[in-house]
A and B are shown apart, each in its own frame.
With several copies, the nearest count.
Chain A
Amino acid sequence: MSYTLNYQGQAYKVEIEEDDKQISLEIDGKKVPVEFQKIEENLFSIIYEGKSITLGVVKKGHNLQIFLNGELYEIESVSERDKRKTSQIASGMQEIKSPMPSRVVKILTKQGDEVDVDEGVVVVEAMKMESELKSPIKGEVKDVFVNEGDAVEAGTVLLVVSSE
């Protein structure tokens, strides 16, 4: 089986070969023989190149959360078909999303405004704390999808900034 795994925008191709003797992975062309074992439902132990590594793994559809040494890695497994879809997202277009379930306290900009890098665009409140969301790019506010006072879910797109 062959998988394309996306991590932080970078795609890695992993090929798994299984024959009667061993499991071997080819990662971006490098061949790695791996001995592995599921320890608990969500705990994997892998032994390869002399290292013993334990990872937490949760799979939700094509999204994987892998936990190693305090870090949670979010990996997306993309099939060939999905890959074409993903590439349609316009470059230079940045969605400002709510990072958690929260309430929109203040919208600091409006459609058509020019915003700078790191300029605050929305203030949200969650867990009794206000946070200012900033624009990661310099550009124009293309759309604002929420109103002050709205309760929003994690991942809700609040507004879109475009650098083009």
Chain B
Amino acid sequence: MFNKILIANRGEIAVRIIRACKELGVSTVAVYSDADRRSLHVALADEAYHIGGSAPGESYLVIDKILDVAKKSGAEAIHPGFGFLSENEEFAKRCEKAKIVFIGPSAKAIRLMGDKITARKIAHEAKVPLVPGSEGAVSDVEASVVVDEIGYPVMIKASAGGGGKGMRLVREKGEFESALRMARSEAGSAFGDDSVFVEKFVEQPRHIEIQIIADSYGNVIHLFERECSIQRRHQKVIEEAPSSAISDRTRKKMGAVAVKIAKAVDYQGAGTVEFIMDQKQNFFFLEMNTRVQVEHPVTEMITGFDIVKWMIRIADGEKLPFKQSQIEMKGHAVECRVYAEDPETNFMPSPGTIDYLRVPSGPGIRDDSSIYSGCEITPHYDPMLSKLVVWADTREAAIEKMASALREYIVIGLKTNIGFLLRVMGEEEFKEGKIDTGYIERHPELLKPGDIDIEPVLIAAALAMNNADSVESGEQRPASNWKLYGRKLGLSGGQVL
């Protein structure tokens, strides 16, 4: 096993990887930007090095700086996490050149799957079903032609994209031009490449993806599917495993297709093959993510398989000791991404300081996060605060557990989507599994609190004001009654308002 691994990432995924390393007895090296000196990944790592400014382009995206730290610290391998350099072919190449193991697939696999147009070709050659659309990046004029051919609704997607950035759904010809402009602009600023392509939009599609794991000896297995249909702005918010929408037969077929695609590019490590699926369980290849996925925990919860540890072991040359037939799933897992964002204003990010935090816990509850009371959520990075994951024996019980856990969550100082997530857990269609990627759009009522009982809120507000007034005015007022009251309750030394 490696002696030391550098984690070229931040936030909860860096913390997740550091924990996996520690359990494997591997030393960890963190890197951090100006904004991240106080971040949990720095606190938990064995070593930590400052690599530059808060903007990713000045730190987490600078290959030279990361490799410098790797050399200085003697790290033998680098785990890129997700985002940042995780799907950067150049970075994988530079690691190889510097004789540092890149924990992920080959640079070639990254390149082939990183460009969505090439990925479509590979899938096409492997006879994997594809959604109709443009055969590659298109100019504005070409796009128009293709769209007129395949008909609305269509999706515009960034060629170099991922995570919903530079993506636009267009339902009518009138919206097309402005949507194309916005998609290109976003793609340009996010990926430094503004090429886009267009695709037919599948109505009421479900997003289903297969987790695959491949070792360096040609063994490829899949760990079943995740359903990630609950999306806002084309980004996943709630994920679950298994999907309640697919039959065992479809599951097997999708798994086999995913393994075929992975084998087509000599894949190594953990990867995800994404599909969209219509209401009749017809599925179409979407893309392959050549890295660990945000939502990997739901798969871990139903299989007991530690994906991050296996990425490290595989990079270290270990052989997969499991056959496909030995992989079993049990129960049901749900993940909610807790974001600093305001559902009432189209999920606008809401950075700020977390003044107070209480996190749910208990049986079957896993909270993957890097936040704490007093930490700052800066506008420099993704506003995800935590991944709250639950496991229970059935989907119904998992949803109940998630609702219960969300109710225990307390985050003060910035707006979060916790209330929204709670309302989804209680919504009938969601509970029945009638979901697709248009779910949130179809349920605008979930964006705002429903009937609220304002009374306890007013009581707490008045008590807090009164407490402060009592403290400010000191001994002159009969404010000490508050204290007296506390004593009457017989509170032995407890804090009293």
Contacts and interface: CB of A to CB of B under 8 A. Distances in A.
Do A and B come into direct contact in the complex, CB within 8 Å?
yes
B42 A45 contact: yes
Contacts of A129: 165, 186, 233, 349
B410 interface: yes
B47 A50 contact: yes
A43 B410 contact: yes
Given A58-B355, A67-B411, A99-B348, A36 B47 contact: no
Interface in A10-58: 12, 14, 16, 18-20, 22-23, 25, 27, 32, 34-48, 50-58
Contact of A70 (B352, B372, B407): B407
A55 B460 contact: yes
B41 to A, nearest CB: 10
A137 interface: no
A53 B455 CA distance: 11
Interface in B407-461: 407, 409-416, 418-422, 449, 452, 454-461
Contact of B407 (A18, A69, A101): A69
Given A46-B456, A54-B44, A128-B190, A64 B461 contact: yes
Nearest to A49: B455
A52 B45 contact: yes
A77 to B, nearest CB: 5
Contacts of B346: 131
A58 B416 CA distance: 15
Nearest to A6: B461
A157 interface: no
Given A12-B458, A52-B47, A75-B461, A70 B409 contact: yes
A40 B355 CA distance: 11
Contacts of B421: 70
Which label, helix, strand, loop or mixed, suits the secondary structure of the B interface? mixed
Contacts of B348: 99-100, 126, 131
B307 interface: no
Interface string A80-115: 000000000000000000011110010000000000
Nearest to A131: B348
A143 interface: no
A18 B412 contact: no
B460 A66 contact: yes
Interface string B376-410: 00011111000000000000000000000011011
Given A32-B459, A58-B413, A71 B47 contact: no
A1 B481 CA distance: 13
Nearest to B482: A18
Contacts of B416: 70, 72
A35 B461 CA distance: 14
Interface residues of A, number: 66
A144 interface: no
Contacts of A5: 458, 461-462
A12 B46 CA distance: 25
B486 to A, nearest CB: 8
Given A64-B465, A70-B422, A54 B457 contact: no
A51 B46 contact: yes
Interface string B469-491: 10000000010011011100101
A12 B190 CA distance: 46
Contacts of A105: 185
Given A54-B43, A127-B382, A128-B165, A39 B462 contact: no
A53 B342 CA distance: 24
A127 B455 contact: no
A25 B462 contact: yes
A131 B182 CA distance: 10
Nearest to B355: A58
Contacts of A7: 454, 457-458
B464 A72 contact: no
B166 to A, nearest CB: 10
A37 B497 contact: yes
Nearest to B41: A52
B213 interface: no
A65 interface: yes
Contact of B412 (A35, A53, A56, A154): A56
A99 B345 contact: yes
B127 interface: no
B3 interface: no
B6 interface: no
A70 B418 contact: yes
Contact of A38 (B190, B355, B495): B495
A40 B40 CA distance: 11
Nearest to A127: B349
B373 interface: yes
A151 to B, nearest CB: 10
Contacts of A75: 457-458, 461
Given A27-B455, A71-B452, A128-B165, A57 B460 contact: yes
B99 interface: no
Nearest to B72: A50
Interface string B347-365: 0111110011010000000
A126 B457 CA distance: 31
Interface string B283-315: 000000000000000000000000000000000
A7 B482 CA distance: 26
B466 interface: yes
Interface of A: 1, 3, 5, 7, 12, 14, 16, 18-20, 22-23, 25, 27, 32, 34-48, 50-59, 64-73, 75, 77, 99-102, 105, 123, 125-131, 154
Rank and list the top 5 A-B pairs by shortest CB-CB distance, nearest first.
A70-B418, A70-B419, A42-B356, A52-B48, A71-B419
Given A52-B43, A64-B465, 4 more contacts: A7-B458, A16-B462, A16-B466, A40-B373
19 contacts: A3-B465, A14-B462, A27-B458, A27-B459, A36-B459, A38-B496, A40-B374, A42-B355, A42-B356, A44-B464, A48-B456, A48-B459, A55-B460, A58-B413, A70-B406, A126-B351, A127-B382, A131-B346, A131-B348
